[in-house]
Chains A and B, each alone.
Chain A
Amino acid sequence: MLLDYDRLGWLRVALVGFTAAVAAFLLLPVVFIVLLSFGSSRWLAFPPPGWTLKWYQQLLADPTWIDAALTSAKIAAMAAISAVIIGLFASFSLVRGEFRGRQLLRGLLLTPMVLPVVVFAIAVYAFFLRIGLAGTTIGFVIAHTILALPFAIIPITAALEGFDKSIEDAAIVCGASPLQAKLRITLPSIRIGIFSAAIFAFLASWDEVVVAIFMASPTLQTLPVKIWGSLRADLSPVVAAASSLLVGLTLCLMIVTALLRRKLSR
């Protein structure tokens, strides 16, 4: 290979150094927040004068935080389920379908990923106000489903493209109806893609803040919205604790995904 790592010589040192710098640049703010959440300073001073768990105690004692976390989890779960179901149908038509405008449809379904979120948020908000969905759980789930859809479609179409349709044909010749063949053979075969889709769709909703701010009402707040609101009201280390938990859960989900993928693909 042209750029063989073993043959780079002294460039290897530069490469490792550069990679480490990029990783540090990406990770330091997160590490910083996590450290602050354990610091005893009320004013988020760094380095912290001492260490404490009281911000976590305050966080867990406050029902509005617990409530926000549960709301986030509920909305993310519902958005993930709907995105995966819609994503499955969409992926089958994108991968298997032979119709004009297929590439156009693919582009359209992926636009939520590239559209400026604030533009999407204002549009959805204005529309939902008019039809009475603003501030409702349903409205929230619909908006987040649209945002999560690209994250569901990408892994499912990838898995479906990697799945040889002859296998489904074989199931049909064996006597399974086309629907049975899909349910019993195709879906289990692409389960890693479906599983990834569910996780990514969940995370897309779980840490989404812009649309969430527009969709939220005083009684319906997700964790990122609550963090945002608290930041503006008072800069308490409780926010750092909440952020750390948010990061922690995301990290756990990613690790579980990686482990399960390895187990399933074996």
Chain B
Amino acid sequence: MTPSFLSISAVRKTFGAFVAVHDVTIDVPKGEFLTFLGPSGSGKSTTLYAIAGFQDPSSGDVLLEGKSLLSVPSHKRNIGMVFQRYTLFPHLSVAENVAFPLRVRRRPDGEVRRKVADMLALVRLENFADRQPGALSGGQQQRVALARALAYDPPILLMDEPLSALDKKLRQDIQTEIRRIHRETGVTILYVTHDQEEALHLSDRIALFREGRIEQIGTGEDLYLRPASEFVAGFIGNSNFLPAEHLETAAGAATVRLADGSIVSGLKTAKPFGKGQKVRLMVRPEALSLTPGPASAALAVEIVDTAFFGDRRRVVARTAGGDEIDVRPTSDAVEPVGAAATGQRIYFDPASAFLFPV
């Protein structure tokens, strides 16, 4: 078997008795944009630092094109990195910042000048070459940091929550820039974030971390449409969870009884459940509707609140069992419903719902 481009092999990192990363294994093909997503403290940054060489793993290995990186000191790994905080060298101009990695590599002046111009053009900051970092906005600083990290054509680019200090609008603009730069350069990117929207927007694949382990790895669609666990379903996108009791499964379609006694059948399930086992039923807010569809299950609810969000409405409903349900119908799909409207029903296609063990 040919070794994969970048191979993170059973990497484990402990701090005293605390295990920050549990034997994480990922193979990354060349040119992939892979995101490490997860809540803080889930081990995603620690794994990234192990690749950068800032933290040696307690065990396991990191292989680039079949060769171990672990014995190579950080400054010789030839890896690009953009940090969470602004790390431009404060006493050097934008151009000198981008030139720095080339200067320490003792590249000839002409090549340095050419490459700096190329890189600043790539991040669309050609006119800022002579500025000092202090005179740039946060977004511009991170773009210069990106240009600096790519100036020496590293095979891998690591990005550690590079946009977390920026405001939302700017974040989306730079995400688009990062996608373009990934397309244009073809560099392999490992990106750390706790923002699921950012992960969905940017990545070819997402590795969702939880307590030092990878909970699920796959495309954004895999994680959103086929979550492997309740944690994944809860972390990616919005989800409603309803307690239920499993009655039976026949031909991959399960039947459950909800807390208010209603029966829902035709639910997809990958895992076998026992009769009477407590489970959780998950439905996405946008899969719920206030009008019945062709193959709908129905829930008796009262409407607690409705709000208008432009393209969608948000309706908060409460079941007889006291569980709040978030419904996101498109704005034109419903007439606004008054608050405290009792005796309403909401509908969903059982095929769009999931069952998870408690």
Contact = CB atoms under 8 A, between A and B. Distances in A.
A joins B in a complex? yes
Interface of A: 164, 166-167, 169-178, 180-181, 184-185, 188-189, 191
Interface string B221-235: 000000000000000
> Interface majority SS on A: helix, strand, loop or mixed?
helix
Contacts of B105: 175
Interface in B52-111: 52, 54, 73-81, 83-91, 100-101, 104-105
A189 B80 contact: no
Contact of A173 (B80, B90, B91): B80
Contacts of A166: 83-85, 87
Interface of B: 52, 54, 73-81, 83-91, 100-101, 104-105, 145, 148-149, 152
B100 A169 contact: no
Secondary structure at the B interface, as helix, strand, loop or mixed, is: loop
A174 B91 contact: no
Nearest to B78: A175
A176 B83 contact: no
B91 A191 contact: yes
A69 to B, nearest CB: 35
Nearest to B83: A166
24 contacts: A164-B87, A166-B85, A167-B90, A170-B83, A170-B87, A170-B148, A171-B100, A172-B74, A173-B52, A173-B77, A173-B81, A173-B149, A174-B104, A174-B152, A175-B78, A175-B101, A176-B104, A178-B75, A180-B75, A181-B75, A184-B104, A189-B89, A189-B90, A191-B91
Nearest to B151: A174
Contact of A175 (B52, B54, B104): B104
A175 B78 CA distance: 7
B323 to A, nearest CB: 44
Nearest to B52: A173
A171 B52 CA distance: 12
Contacts of A188: 89, 91
Contacts of A177: 73, 75
Contact of A172 (B75, B78, B80, B148): B75
A167 B87 contact: yes
A167 B75 contact: no
B104 A189 contact: no
Contacts of B86: 164
B104 to A, nearest CB: 5
Contacts of B76: 175
Q: What 8 A-B pairs are tightest by C-beta distance, nearest first?
A: A170-B87, A174-B101, A173-B81, A188-B91, A175-B104, A167-B87, A176-B104, A172-B75
Contacts of B81: 170, 173
A164 B141 CA distance: 15
Given A170-B145, A170-B148, A173-B74, 7 more contacts: A164-B87, A166-B85, A167-B87, A167-B90, A170-B83, A172-B75, A173-B149
A185 B75 CA distance: 14
B75 to A, nearest CB: 5
B152 A175 contact: yes
A169 B89 contact: no
A174 B92 CA distance: 15
A169 B88 CA distance: 11
Contacts of B85: 164, 166
Nearest to B54: A169
Contacts of A167: 87-90
A185 B88 CA distance: 10
Contacts of B75: 172-178, 180-181
Nearest to B81: A173
Nearest to A167: B87
Contacts of A184: 100, 104
B78 to A, nearest CB: 7
Most buried by A among B76, B85, B86, B104: B104
